[in-house]
Structures are given as C-alpha cells and as structure tokens.
Structure 1
Amino acid sequence: MLIAASALLILFAWFAGPRRFVEAVLLTRSALDPIFNLTKVGGLEDMGVGAAVNLAVLVVAVACVATRPRVRPGPTAILWLPLLLVCLVSSRFAPDPGAAIRLVMLLATHAAFCLLAFYFVRDLADLRRFLLIIVAGSIAPTLYAGLQLALGWAEFGEDGTRVYSSFPHPNIYAFYLMTILAVVLTLLTGKGSAKASGKGFVLSPRLRRALVLYVPVLLGLILLTKTRSAWAGAGLILLTHGLLFDRRTLLYFLSLPVALLAVPELAERLADLQQGNTMDAYEKLNSYAFRMLLWQGAMTWFWERPLFGWGLSSFGHYVAQFFPLPLENDTIDSHSVYVQFLFETGVIGFLAYLWLYVRVITLTGKLILRGERWAWMILAMTVGYLSMAYSDNMLYYLVPTWYMWFVLGGACAVLGQRRAVHRRRPVALPA
C-alpha cells in the first residue's frame, strides 16, 4: 500500500507539476488524518497513506533541487543541515534505530517544506496565494470541529470538552489553529490598496471581511482546545497585530482573559495549576508539576552524557528508569522539545536546533528592517511556536509544523528575492 500510494502521488506531481502538488497538499493535508489512520497496516505507527505523502514530499523536494538549478537550495541547507546531520549521527547509537530513523525522516519533511517554499515563492503575490491556500485548507477542519461540538464528540478523556477536529490530539489542533491565526492576521496587515513593499498583501474588500470574521472563530476554537500554551501564543499574536497594525485586534486580546475567567471549564484549566504541585500522589499532580518532575529526572541523566546525549528517540526508551512515578506502558514522551534534544542529542543537537530559529528570527528581522512590516506577524508566530515547544512534543506534530515551515520558508524566500532585485538595480553614473 505504501509503495503504491507513493507511486500514485509522485505520478500526480509529475503530470500536474510540483507546484500543483504542493498546493494540493497544503489545501487538503490538515483534514486527512482520520482517513490516513484507517490505512495504517501491520501495527506500524506510520506505515499508511500518510507515510506515502511524506515520502512523496521528499521525492518532490529532491526533484526540485535536481531540475531547477536557478533556485539555490543553499539557504535551506544552511538552516537545516546542521540539525539533520546531528540527528542522523545520533541515530547510529540510538537504543531503537528504527524510531530514530523515522524521526530523522520526519524532520527531513519539515526541511523539505521549507525548501519547497523557496522554489515556489518568488514575490509577495506568490506568498499571498499560498497563505490563502493555507487558510482555505483550514475550513474543513473548522467545519469538522463545529460538528464535533454540535454532536458532543469533543469529549477528550478526563479534561471534558476539548475540541480536536481532524487531529489526533487537542494540543496538535491548537498549534495548527495558532498557525492559521498568524497567517490570517499576516494577510490582514496591509491596507489592501497597493503591492508596494511594506504595505502588506492585496485583498479584495469581500475577502478582507471574510478573514476578519474568521478571526473570532479561530479564537473560540483555540479556547476550546484547552491548550494553555496555545492561549499564550495566540495572545502574543493578537497583541503584536493590535499594537502594530489594527488597534481593534486588542479587543480580542483583552477579551481572552475575560473568557478564561467567565467560562467555568476554561477557568478550571487555569485553576489546575494552583493545585497538585506536590508529589503526595500521582493523581494529584497537575500537568505542569508532572512535566517538571519528568524533566528533573531527564536532566540527571543528561549530565552523564552532556555532549552527544543518549541517542535520538531514546527518551521514551529510558524514561521508566529515571522517572519515579508509574507510567502507562512504561514510557512517555518528553513534553518539551528542548529537554528532548538535550537528553537525546546533547548540547550539540540542542545548539543545532536553536540555530534553526536564531537564523529564522535573524532573517525575519532583516525583512522588517527592509520595510516588510507584515514580517512582525511571522516573528510572533515563531516566538509562539518556541513557547509551545517548551512544554509540548512539537517535533511530532507533523501537519501544523509543515504549514509553519512553509510560511517561514516563504518569508525567507521573499527576502532573497528582495536582495536579488537590489543587486540587479542599475547604478546611476555621475553626469
């Protein structure tokens, strides 16, 4: 099934073109997890049509590098090669090489989406088109989330109602919604009347109204995921847009704490952090106290191998040996990207991961200095992601991370085009 599905997807990319293939993935992938889960066979976690899409993305990215020499893969290589090389080397001494290689391939698909943005985003008009495709792709998950709420399907374990739409977990959906919120507000940064640098994206009045009306829908769904880190990330995005572009957005920012206090179920999520901070009993630990205990145990092992770590994807393998509380199936993920990289790849891998975002933030800053004020929203989205990475398993959140890296790659590609235009400008000779 995997080989057949991959072959069909690659044939589609061959006949329709890689650009149409990427557009189709951006438009549909966010809604397809429930379907792909039905195709997983043999008990292997990732061996279904979803894995075929991942493979096709990698093949298309390699084909673009091989057949389009005018676009240099250098910017993406500078970003991603250090981390990918460290992870590949780390997988050689991992306790579960199969899981380690799967994680390397997962990270490679993130890099591929960043690379593909460089090939297909040539200017603000291209970036606008892809951002609108990403927003259009969110409509089906939004409708499905509404159906979940209407039919009472949004019950998620002991936490009560937590909307998760077409995603496996509410936290994953929350990050996706945060990304879509950032994309929508990025599109709304301009005045809609000019294409000139720094004035944002051209939108028709009808489209602008639709996007404005979509913002409260996204915010409502973010609240109903009950993901606290996403609340903080969304607040940062709203605050950035409100202070720099449209003061009316501050009303949403100010209404968030009101909603959190006024709705009992949401208030309980905040109140949970005020209790269960001692290890008297496992049931009484709140989620953050549980994480802190987990990270403390991991750090005691980290200092035994601080440089290179214990091997990629090793956290779940060793966690039962350093965590003092009982675990389901004797394993659990790190719930922190930073702790995971420190434990599994040591300081070397941790610095390689930080390099990704230091470089992205630097490039985004250059966009802002060149007058592209919409890049402030890209910066806010990146910082929001980094804040969520502190307390969540963001490395495994495949679909929303694809969208985020395509947006980041597209923004960096616009900067590259601005530089190229600047270099091509004729120099005026003195009279």
Structure 2
Amino acid sequence: MFEEEYPSPGLHSQSEQYVLLQLTAMGLCASWALGGMLGWVSGYLACLGALTPIIIEGHRRHGLFNIKRPRRMVALALTPVWVAIIVFLTGLFFISIHEITIGDIELLTLVQTPWWAPSNVASQSGWLTMLYQVAIYTSAVGLIFVALTTTLVRRLLIILTTSASLIALIGFIQLYSGTNKLLWSLSTYSEFFAIFPHSEQYAGFALLWSLAFLGLLLHLRRQKKTDGLVEKWGLIMFVGWGILTVSVFVSGTLLHWGLLVAGIGWCITTEGAFATNNGAKKSGAFAAILGILIAITGIVFIAANVAGSENVNGLTSERQSIIWQDSWKLFLEKPIFGWGVGSFLTIIAFKQEVDFGQNLLTPHSDLLHLMVEQGVIGVVIWLAPPVILLIIFLKKETKRLLSAHLWTAAIMIGVLALFSFPLQNPATAWSLWFIIGAAHVWTKVQRKDPAIALKSDVVFDESEMRSVPKLDKPLGKTRSRIEERRKYWND
C-alpha cells in the first residue's frame, strides 16, 4: 500500500542552508569529478568527499547539529569501509603479482598465494581502486547523514538530478559537435560521451538518474499545491529528464532500453495503484494497466538482448561466455577474499585460456568483477547495506511513493550490473549509493504521525550556536507554512 507524502517544513535557518551547500558541493566533487572529468585531480577530490562525515561531526560538536541518531548507526554504515581497508592491508603480506625490471623491460610474475588469505598486486592500481571505492561510499554516507529531514533529501535530489542533466547535455554537445571547447582542458574521449570512458557506462549513469528524476517529477507533481517549484521550473526539469532519457536510447543497448522502459512502467503502475487507493479508481486503474503494459514491453527488450547474438558490451555470446567462464575459474581459486582490489586486469592475463585481446580484459559484469577481486567477503560487505535497507522498505506496511521510485532506479541498475559494468564508473557508483540512502531517509518518516513532519532532526540556534531541543522560531514564512500544514493535518 502506498501513501501520500505530506509537506515538509522547509529549511529553518541560514546556517542550515550554508551546511547544505557546503556538503552538497563536496558530494558533487566526489561524484562527477571522480568520473574522470578532472583527470589527476580526482584522487584529491575523492579524499575531500570522504571527509564529509568528519566535517559533520565537527559541526555537531560546535552546536550546528543536534543529531539524534545513535552513533552505532554511523559505525554500522561505515562497516564496509573498515572491512575493506583491513582486508587490503592484510593482503599486502600476500602479493600475488610481482614486478621485475630487466634493463628497460618490465615483467610481471605470478606467485601462488594461499587460497584462504587476502592478496594484492604490487602496483598502484590496487590502492587507488580501493581509495576510490572507499571514498565514494564514505562521501555518499556522509551526504545522507546530513540529510536528516525530507526537505534536505528533496533539495539534494533536485540539485543532483539537475547537474546530471547538465552532464548529459554536455555529452550531447560533445558528441554531435566534435569539439571539447565547452569542457576546456578536461580529459575527455572524442568517441564517447562527456566524462565517461565508455558509452555504455554513460548509458548506465543516464538510466539511473532518468528513473530517479522521473520519481522526483512525479513527487513534485503531487506536491504542486504546496511547492512552487513545479510552476517555476517544471518545464526546465522536464527538459532535463528528457535529455537523460534520450541519452539512454542514444548510447545504450537493448538491455538499457528494456530496463528504462520497465522502470518507467513500474513507476506509472505504482502511481496508478496510489490513485486507485485514494478515490480516483478509473484513472488509477488505467494508469496501473498502462504501466504494466509498458513494463512488459521493457521485459521483452531485456529478453531480446539476453537471447541475441550480441551482448550488452558488443561481444558475441560465445566470446562473452568464454570470459565469464575464465572469470568464474578465477573466483573458485580464491573464493573467500579474491585476488585483491584492482587485480583483475593483471590476473586475467595469466589465467585467460583464449586470448581475444584487450576487449576481453574485463568480465563486463560488475558482480563477477567484484567476486574475482574481493571474493565472497567483498560481495557480502558491499551488498549487505542495500539489501538490508530494501528489506526495511518492503516490511513497511505503507510505502512512500518517492522511496518506491528511487528503489526502482536502484534495482534497475542492480540488474544492469549483472550483465554490464555501469558501477566501474565512480560517478554512477556514488550516485547509486546516494539514491539508496535517500530512499531510506524518505522511508523513515511516516504519514500516520504528522508531528514528525513538523519536527526537524537538524536543529540550529544561530544566537548561541548550540544544540537546542526543538525549533522555536522558524525564519521568514516558515512559521505560517507550518501553521497551515498543522491545521491541515489536524483537520
């Protein structure tokens, strides 16, 4: 059963706006720039984004935040980070690939290591990949923990979806004009879109944000009477969503098309089910039936891609099957901890039975890639957070529509990761973590307790800069807005 989202009380002070702007800027640095747009600077920006939780703690100690969430929740959210770091450091004692220099020639030698122990490769790719992976997750967690109210989540979603649309627009201009003038000195690829090293990675990024953007637009449409954003910027946002959607069809394959169509169909179905439960039975039933038909069309596209001779990465099914078999054998040799972060490209060169060249130096499957490099432990620590949050959402008696739409976007990318490699691009990986966290935050507050909607978890007192138990004097028009909504819920 789905429920309506009630109006959120809005930002409470200039300090809250400042903190939101600061942390959003850090989140953007850790996502878009990590996609390769700023080249060598991306490593520094990854570290900057990972500092977000530390800055939040500093704000809390100085009285800017009154965070009521227990610290064990933060520690639990960061558990994958600690486990990944410990496994990586332990693997430094079991190096499976050594570099040997003979004159001007560099050679690689494979050394057998215990199957039960973590291992690494003696190159920079390992620790750089681990740094990116940990920094992306940490920065997304930090941005979610500052978004303790539904208003902040919604504003962050608007900011990020808009910036994603701008990236898609830059990609179109670069593709059809054949120039990089708009990107200045940014490192780009002439044959691909914008900041992404592969067109299908760009399609995965556009797929994720297109479905998230659609869910946001549907939510804003329902909030039309209480939020002037739709009247002022509705056309611009619709154009932005259109750019992302068209990007999927231009740069993606049948699999991307099918997932996009299926996601759109499911969003329409949930909207129809909600309308049916709230009195609009005819229009709701029509929307639900239309959504189901659209979703079935998407499933047909997906089945056609899987059954076709060409896979999502452009390789024939025969070659794809060979690389998957070789990758599976690598996983079985070291199933617990894997071969080490960033080791796949090196290990496959020694273990690949049939050499098809550079095109087959990746499994073209994020799940298989994770299994080979980090084993069962890596699969558990990185899949446990989204699975737990999804179970929490499904166990709710009433489900909020925006959360359902965001989860739809996340699930479609999860399906895509089984057959393609969207999450090997840092921008898409960061976006996925943020959308999952935003869906969870939006799920936490329920309609049946309207007092929660008028009470902020992020509280400011600008006069003394200390924590206070409640919001006493909202600024500007916020007081009248809250009074109107309190009257609405009391009625």
Output the TM-score relative to the length of structure 2: 0.64
Match of 2:46 among 44, 54, 61: 54
CA distance, structure 1, for counterparts of residue 33 and residue 253 of structure 2: 20
* Superposition deviation, residue 115 in structure 1: 1.9
Which residue pairs with 2:56 in the alignment? 64
SS of 1:275's partner is coil
Which residue pairs with 2:83 in the alignment? 85
CA distance, structure 1, for counterparts of residue 174 and residue 200 of structure 2: 16
Which residue pairs with 1:75 in the alignment? 73
Please state if 1:354 is matched with 2:383. yes
- Counterpart of 1:23, as a letter, is T
Which residue pairs with 2:152 in the alignment? 126
How do 1:204-223 residues align onto structure 2 when only pairs under 5 Å count? 204-223=230-249
Please state if 1:402 is matched with 2:430. yes
Please state if 1:244 is matched with 2:245. no
Please state if 1:20 is matched with 2:21. yes
Q: Is the 8 A contact 1:320 1:327 kept in 2?
A: no
- Counterpart of 1:136, as a letter, is T
Match of 1:36 among 20, 31, 38: 38
Which residue pairs with 2:461 in the alignment? none
Question: Structure 2 vs 1, CA of residues 408 and 390 (structure 1 numbering), >3 Å: closer, same or farther?
Answer: same
CA distance, structure 1, for counterparts of residue 53 and residue 437 of structure 2: 13
CA distance, structure 2, for counterparts of residue 374 and residue 201 of structure 1: 16
- Counterpart of 1:102, as a letter, is L
Question: Structure 2 vs 1, CA of residues 363 and 163 (structure 1 numbering), >3 Å: closer, same or farther?
Answer: farther
Which residue pairs with 1:13 in the alignment? none
Question: Structure 2 vs 1, CA of residues 126 and 17 (structure 1 numbering), >3 Å: closer, same or farther?
Answer: closer
* Superposition deviation, residue 391 in structure 1: 2.3
User: What are the superposed Cα offsets for residues 346-396 of structure 1, whole Å, 9 maximum, x if unpaired?
Assistant: 222222232122113123335x63441221112211211211211233443
Which residue pairs with 2:348 in the alignment? 319
Please state if 1:181 is matched with 2:205. no
How do 1:233-382 residues align onto structure 2 when only pairs under 5 Å count? 233-245=259-271, 247=287, 254=294, 274-275=308-309, 286-328=315-357, 332-366=361-395, 369-382=397-410
CA distance, structure 2, for counterparts of residue 65 and residue 88 of structure 1: 24
Question: Structure 2 vs 1, CA of residues 200 and 249 (structure 1 numbering), >3 Å: closer, same or farther?
Answer: farther
CA distance, structure 2, for counterparts of residue 168 and residue 256 of structure 1: 32
Q: Is the 8 A contact 1:76 1:114 kept in 2?
A: no
* Superposition deviation, residue 57 in structure 1: 0.8
Question: Structure 2 vs 1, CA of residues 62 and 132 (structure 1 numbering), >3 Å: closer, same or farther?
Answer: same
- Counterpart of 2:129, as a letter, is L
Question: Structure 2 vs 1, CA of residues 303 and 245 (structure 1 numbering), >3 Å: closer, same or farther?
Answer: same
CA distance, structure 1, for counterparts of residue 254 and residue 72 of structure 2: 37
How do 1:416-427 residues align onto structure 2 when only pairs under 5 Å count? 416=444
User: What are the superposed Cα offsets for residues 171-194 of structure 1, whole Å, 9 maximum, x if unpaired?
Assistant: 221122112212211212337455
Larger Rg belongs to: 2
Answer with 248-257 or 226-235: which moved more: 248-257
CA distance, structure 1, for counterparts of residue 293 and residue 34 of structure 2: 31
Structure that is richer in helix per residue = 1
Unmatched tracts of structure 1, length 5 or more: 1-15, 38-47, 155-160, 262-269, 278-284, 426-431
How many residue pairs match? The answer is 374
Q: Is the 8 A contact 2:81 2:134 kept in 1?
A: no
Q: Is the 8 A contact 2:168 2:206 kept in 1?
A: no
CA distance, structure 2, for counterparts of residue 191 and residue 236 of structure 1: 22
User: What are the superposed Cα offsets for residues 327-359 of structure 1, whole Å, 9 maximum, x if unpaired?
Assistant: 546982332222223222222222223212211
CA distance, structure 2, for counterparts of residue 147 and residue 209 of structure 1: 21
Unmatched tracts of structure 2, length 5 or more: 1-16, 92-118, 181-189, 273-286, 454-491
Matched-pair identity in %: 17
* Superposition deviation, residue 96 in structure 1: 3.2
Q: Is the 8 A contact 1:193 1:202 kept in 2?
A: no
How do 1:84-163 residues align onto structure 2 when only pairs under 5 Å count? 84-86=82-84, 88-90=86-88, 92=91, 93-96=119-122, 98-151=124-177
Which residue pairs with 1:429 in the alignment? none
CA distance, structure 2, for counterparts of residue 175 and residue 316 of structure 1: 22
CA distance, structure 1, for counterparts of residue 381 and residue 34 of structure 2: 32
- Counterpart of 1:172, as a letter, is Q
CA distance, structure 2, for counterparts of residue 163 and residue 253 of structure 1: 33
SS of 1:307's partner is coil
Structure that is richer in strand per residue = 2
CA distance, structure 1, for counterparts of residue 44 and residue 289 of structure 2: 41
Q: Is the 8 A contact 1:96 1:313 kept in 2?
A: no
